[in-house]
Structure 1
Amino acid sequence: MTFKSLTYYISVTVIILTLNSCGVVTKKYETPDDEFAAQYRDTLVQDTTSMATLSWKEIIRDSTLQDLIEEGLQNNLNLKSAIENINQAQASLVEAKLAFLPSLEGNAQITRSKTSQASLNLGGITGVNLNTTSHVGQLTSSWELDVWGKLRSNKRSVVASFLKSQAATRAVQTQLISDIAIGYYNLLALDAELKITKETLANRIGDQETMVYLKQSAVVDGAAVVQSEASRYEIETSIPDIETSILEQENALSILLGRAPGAIERTSLENQTAYSDLKIGIPSTLLRNRPDIQEAEMTFRGAFEDVNMAKTYFYPSLTLTANGGLSSLSLTDFFDNSVFYNLIGGLTQPIFANGENKARLKINKSVQQQAFYDYKLAWLTAGSEISDALFLYKKAKEKQASRTLQISALEKSVDFTEALLEYSSSTNYTDVLTTKNSLLSAQINGVSDKLQELQAVIQLYRALGGGWQ
Structure 2
Amino acid sequence: MRAVPLLLAMLSLAGCAARVAPPPASTLQVPQQWRAPLPDGGSGLPVDAAWWQSFDDPALAALVSTALANNGDLRVARERIEDFRARVRAASAALQPTLSFDTSATRTRTLSAVTGQPYVTNVFPLEVQAAYELDVWGRLANATAAAAATLRGEQANLEAVGLSIAANVASGYLNLRGLDAQLELAQATLALRARSRDLARRQFEVGYSSRLEWLQAQAEYDTAAEQVPQLQRQIFEQENALALLSGASPGPIARGRTLAELVPPPVPSGLPSDLLRRRPDIARAEQAIVAANAQLAATRDQLLPTFRLTAAGGIQSGELSDLLHAPARLWRLTGTLAAPLFDAGRVQAATDSAAAVRNQALVTYENTVRQAFVETENGLDAVTRLREQVVQNDARRATAAETLRIAHNRYANGYAAYLEELDAQRSLYAADVARLQLRARLLTASVDLYRVMGGGYSAPAGTAR
- Tell me if TM exceeds 0.5: yes
SS in 1 for 2:304: coil
Residue of structure 2 aligned with 1:156, choices 123, 145, 149: 145
Give the C-alpha shift of residue 279 in structure 1.
Answer: 2.2
Q: Is the 8 A contact 1:108 1:137 kept in 2?
A: yes
Q: Does 1:42 align with 2:36?
A: yes
SS in 2 for 1:242: helix
SS in 2 for 1:363: helix
CA distance 1:186–1:240, shift in 2 (3 Å): same
SS in 2 for 1:339: strand
Structure 2 letter corresponding to 1:418: H
For each residue in 1:88-114, what CA deviation from the matched residue of structure 2 results, as whole angstroms up to 9, or x when unmatched? 111111111111011111011222111
Q: What corresponds to 1:355 in structure 2? A: 345
Q: What corresponds to 2:106 in structure 1? A: 111
CA distance 1:284–1:50, shift in 2 (3 Å): farther
SS in 1 for 2:85: helix
Give the C-alpha shift of residue 57 in structure 1.
Answer: 4.9
Q: Does 1:78 align with 2:98?
A: no
Residue of structure 1 aligned with 2:114, choices 105, 115, 121: 121
Q: Is the 8 A contact 1:327 1:340 kept in 2?
A: yes
Structure 1 letter corresponding to 2:345: G
Q: What corresponds to 2:400 in structure 1? A: 410
For each residue in 1:279-310, what CA deviation from the matched residue of structure 2 results, as whole angstroms up to 9, or x when unmatched? 23122134321111111111222122121111
How far apart, in 2, do the equivalents of 1:331 and 1:208 lie? Answer: 108
CA distance 1:136–1:337, shift in 2 (3 Å): closer
SS in 2 for 1:51: coil
Structure 1 letter corresponding to 2:352: K
Give the C-alpha shift of residue 48 in structure 1.
Answer: 11
Residue of structure 1 aligned with 2:125, choices 127, 131, 136: 136
Q: Is the 8 A contact 2:18 2:348 kept in 1?
A: no
SS in 2 for 1:346: strand
How far apart, in 2, do the equivalents of 1:188 and 1:386 lie? Answer: 25
For each residue in 1:220-245, what CA deviation from the matched residue of structure 2 results, as whole angstroms up to 9, or x when unmatched? 32211111111111111122111111
Q: What corresponds to 1:419 in structure 2? A: 409
Q: What corresponds to 2:461 in structure 1? A: none
Residue of structure 2 aligned with 1:52, choices 31, 43, 47: 47
CA distance 1:233–1:391, shift in 2 (3 Å): same
Structure 2 letter corresponding to 1:109: S
SS in 1 for 2:56: coil
Q: Is the 8 A contact 2:52 2:170 kept in 1?
A: no
CA distance 1:92–1:131, shift in 2 (3 Å): same
For each residue in 1:23-45, what CA deviation from the matched residue of structure 2 results, as whole angstroms up to 9, or x when unmatched? x8899xx9x96943334221228
Give the C-alpha shift of residue 217 in structure 1.
Answer: 5.0
Give the C-alpha shift of residue 352 in structure 1.
Answer: 3.9
Residue of structure 1 aligned with 2:136, choices 136, 147, 154: 147
Q: Does 1:166 align with 2:169?
A: no
SS in 1 for 2:345: helix
Structure 2 letter corresponding to 1:51: P
Give the C-alpha shift of residue 67 in structure 1.
Answer: 0.8
Counterparts of residues 390-401 of structure 1 (less than 5 Å): 390-401=380-391
Residue of structure 2 aligned with 1:247, choices 216, 226, 236: 236
Q: What corresponds to 2:294 in structure 1? A: 305
How far apart, in 1, do the equivalents of 2:285 and 2:330 lie? Answer: 54
**TM-score normalised according to structure 1 size:** 0.87
How far apart, in 2, do the equivalents of 1:73 and 1:34 lie? Answer: 37
Structure 1 letter corresponding to 2:91: A
Does 371-380 or 211-220 show the bigger shift? 211-220
SS in 1 for 2:315: strand
Q: What corresponds to 1:193 in structure 2? A: 182
Give the number of aligned pairs. 443
Structure 2 letter corresponding to 1:99: A
**TM-score normalised according to structure 2 size:** 0.88
Counterparts of residues 330-369 of structure 1 (less than 5 Å): 330-331=319-320, 333-334=322-323, 336=326, 338-369=328-359
Q: Is the 8 A contact 1:189 1:269 kept in 2?
A: yes
Residue of structure 2 aligned with 1:205, choices 180, 194, 202: 194
- Structure 2, unpaired ranges of 5+: 459-465
Give the C-alpha shift of residue 327 in structure 1.
Answer: 2.1
- Structure 1, unpaired ranges of 5+: none
How far apart, in 2, do the equivalents of 1:236 and 1:341 lie? Answer: 94
Give the C-alpha shift of residue 393 in structure 1.
Answer: 1.0
How far apart, in 1, do the equivalents of 2:420 and 2:54 lie? Answer: 45
How far apart, in 2, do the equivalents of 1:140 and 1:106 lie? Answer: 6
How far apart, in 2, do the equivalents of 1:52 and 1:185 lie? Answer: 20
SS in 1 for 2:303: coil
Q: Is the 8 A contact 1:314 1:354 kept in 2?
A: no
How far apart, in 2, do the equivalents of 1:309 and 1:228 lie? Answer: 79
How far apart, in 1, do the equivalents of 2:239 and 2:287 lie? Answer: 36
For each residue in 1:257-284, what CA deviation from the matched residue of structure 2 results, as whole angstroms up to 9, or x when unmatched? 11100111113211211112x1231221
Q: Is the 8 A contact 1:287 1:382 kept in 2?
A: no
Q: Is the 8 A contact 2:53 2:61 kept in 1?
A: no
Does 292-301 or 353-362 show the bigger shift? 353-362
Give the C-alpha shift of residue 443 in structure 1.
Answer: 0.3
CA distance 1:329–1:114, shift in 2 (3 Å): same
Aligned-CA RMSD value: 2.8
Structure 2 letter corresponding to 1:447: L
For each residue in 1:109-151, what CA deviation from the matched residue of structure 2 results, as whole angstroms up to 9, or x when unmatched? 222111125xx2327xxxx782111221111122121122210
For each residue in 1:378-413, what CA deviation from the matched residue of structure 2 results, as whole angstroms up to 9, or x when unmatched? 111111111111111111211222222322221121
